[in-house]
């Protein structure tokens, strides 16, 4: 194994161990002794991001992309970094490039969708999460994320279908159960909604969505005391 590969592996192991400052130092040593290798640039940028040093990481990620534009992980990292630095206008082009490169990794599509959400682009998020469900139909997380976005877009029937798929794949997904309860409530299926919301709270007693929607359900059923108790519980959490 060459010296640079050994040093890169050592820096990677430090990063995986959560020793971000040590990984930063190791990556800088590689760059100082062997020039700007892409692995070292990306390692250094990642170590800086883990230390919340977005301003320092941004130029490194940009240099890495300039050298090799087809790095989807770097595109996603740079999009997140731009967002952290308040450069929201620069994020969509990076995400579009990432989507254009993605061909088979659900985790990348989920990451892209979540950045779209962070810039309030629901349609972009729906496209990314939808692609993730097509790529991996048994991904509960992909269906859950898609369902949440569809619900926010007021596409209630489609949201219900996606969320029902999510909870069928993973009944312990509290947020999917909670948003499914909200969708069922909108569809005037109060009993089913309450069952889902109670299930969400059994899984995650701190789930704010479930507390809020359960209060709404009880209020609609003319049970103000139960509704008030739900709202108090939500505030206390």
Instruction: Tell me what the pLDDT averaged over the chain comes to.
Output: 93
Residue 227 has pLDDT above 80, yes or no: no
Residue 237 has pLDDT above 70, yes or no: no
Q: At residue 102, what are phi and psi to the nearest 5 degrees?
A: -70, 130
pLDDT tens-digit map of 172-218 = 999 999 999 999 999 999 999 999 999 999 999 999 899 888 888 88
Q: Look at residue 220 in the predicted model and tell me its pLDDT.
A: 84
d(CA 237, CA 232): 9
**Exposed e or buried b for every residue in 190-220, given b needs 16+ CB within 10 A?**
beebbebbebbbebbeebebbbbbbbbbbee
Instruction: Tell me which of 4-13, 35-44, 133-142, 228-237 is least confident.
Output: 228-237
- Mean pLDDT, to the nearest integer, of 211-231? 82
22-71 pLDDT, tens digit each: 999 999 999 999 988 899 999 999 999 999 999 999 999 999 999 999 99
Length reported for the chain = 237
The mean pLDDT of 119-144, rounded to a whole number, is 96
SS3 string, the chain, reads CCHHHHHHHHHHHHHHCCCHHHHHHHHHHHHHHHCCCHHHHHHHHHHHHHCCCHHHHHHHHHHHHHHCCCCHHHHHHHHHHHHHCCCHHHHHHHHHHHHHHCCCCHHHHHHHHHHHHHCCCHHHHHHHHHHHHHHCCCCHHHHHHHHHHHHHCCCHHHHHHHHHHHHHHCCCCHHHHHHHHHHHHHCCCHHHHHHHHHHHHHHCCCCHHHHHHHHHHHHHCCCHHHHHHHHHHHHHC
Q: What mean pLDDT do residues 73-88 have?
A: 96
pLDDT at res. 230: 72
| Residue 232: predicted pLDDT | 75
- Where does the pLDDT of residue 1 fall: very low under 50, low under 70, confident under 90, or very high at 90 and above? low
């Amino acid at each position: 194994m060459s010296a640079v590969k050994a040093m890169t592996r050592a820096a990677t192991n430090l990063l995986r161990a959560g020793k971000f400052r040590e990984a930063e130092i190791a990556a800088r040593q590689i760059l100082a002794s062997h020039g700007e290798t892409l692995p070292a640039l990306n390692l250094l940028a990642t170590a800086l991001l883990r230390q919340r040093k977005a301003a320092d990481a941004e130029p490194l990620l940009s240099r890495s992309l300039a050298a090799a534009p087809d790095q989807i992980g770097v595109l996603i990292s740079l999009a997140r970094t731009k967002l952290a630095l308040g450069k929201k206008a620069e994020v969509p082009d990076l995400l579009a490039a990432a989507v254009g490169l993605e061909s088979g990794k659900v985790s990348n599509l989920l990451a892209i969708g979540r950045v779209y959400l962070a810039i309030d682009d629901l349609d972009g998020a729906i496209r990314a999460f939808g692609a993730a469900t097509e790529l991996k139909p048994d991904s509960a997380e992909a269906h859950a994320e898609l369902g949440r976005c569809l619900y926010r877009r007021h596409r209630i029937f489609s949201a219900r279908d996606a969320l029902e798929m999510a909870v069928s794949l993973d009944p312990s997904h509290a947020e999917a159960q909670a948003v499914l309860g909200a969708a069922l409530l909108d569809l005037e299926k109060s009993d089913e909604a309450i069952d889902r919301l109670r299930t969400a709270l059994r899984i995650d007693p701190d789930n704010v969505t479930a507390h809020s929607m359960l209060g709404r359900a009880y209020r609609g059923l003319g049970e103000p005391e139960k509704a008030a108790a739900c709202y108090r519980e939500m505030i206390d959490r």
